[in-house]
Structure 1
């Protein structure tokens, strides 16, 4: 059986929001569930927790980008909606890694992959990504890895 605890908890939250008549929360959770369903139909797979985390991470990133663009255009009501959606999706993400934890993971990956220069950065990223998915911004991870490799 597939590991779908995250998906099940989102589905339960959707049902509770429907019972409580929280229209905005229902709309956000339906978006999440529809994205899972789209992946299942398109790829003929069952969305497991690791993939669900990646989907949620992508959705948060998209909404943060949209929020930034709305604020730059002076559309505060739309920016507030995007911020609300981020907060609702964020609930289902694991706790973020501290800078020290992230640094330790990057250092260990560099050591394990035997990476010595920027050309081999992909090897280290391949080891890092599964450990930090949904718990750290990949841009920040990449920056940290570049800093360590440039020493």
Structure 2
């Protein structure tokens, strides 16, 4: 079963269980997927699905940060609940040691030795770590290792 089909099945389950919060989040995710399918006239595969859900999680994390800074804990909790639900559809995140090992392998493969080689390293890592690591954190680690 593809991730999209799993999301659709979970929507049916949320409808049966009268779980309004989960249903709202799942419908929002399905709408984002459907928008891509209509705009690009494609069928979204699992790789693209993970990218879309990752983007949604990232947006919500930023919203949580902003709501907490603004003293709106009620809205921050709602966004955090959405994050928790959406993360069920993402692959398990790699730990720091695995990420650092992947970065070192990519640096060795490219022969990178200076910060100007960062683009080559990121090009390799985007393919292998997409959805499995926060790419902004990966970028920071690459900068540290090449500095």
What TM-score do the two structures reach when normalised by structure 1? Answer: 0.93
1:5 to 2, 9, 21: 2
What are the Cα deviations for residues 31-87 of structure 1, in whole angstroms up to 9, with x where unaligned?
A: 000000000111111111111111111100100101111111111111111001000
Shift of 1:131: 1.5
134-143 or 24-33, which deviates more: 134-143
Q: How does 1:80-91 map to 2 (within 5 A)?
A: 80-91=77-88
Report whether the alignment pairs 1:66 with 2:63.
yes
Which segments of structure 1 move beyond 2 Å, counting only runs of 4 or more? none
1:141 to 122, 126, 138: 138
Unaligned runs of 5+ in 1: none
Quote the Cα distance in structure 2 between the aligned partners of 1:55 and 1:102.
21
1:100 to 94, 97, 101: 97
Secondary structure of the corresponding residue to residue 89 of structure 2: coil
What's 1:34 paired with?
31
Report whether the alignment pairs 1:121 with 2:118.
yes
Unaligned runs of 5+ in 2: none
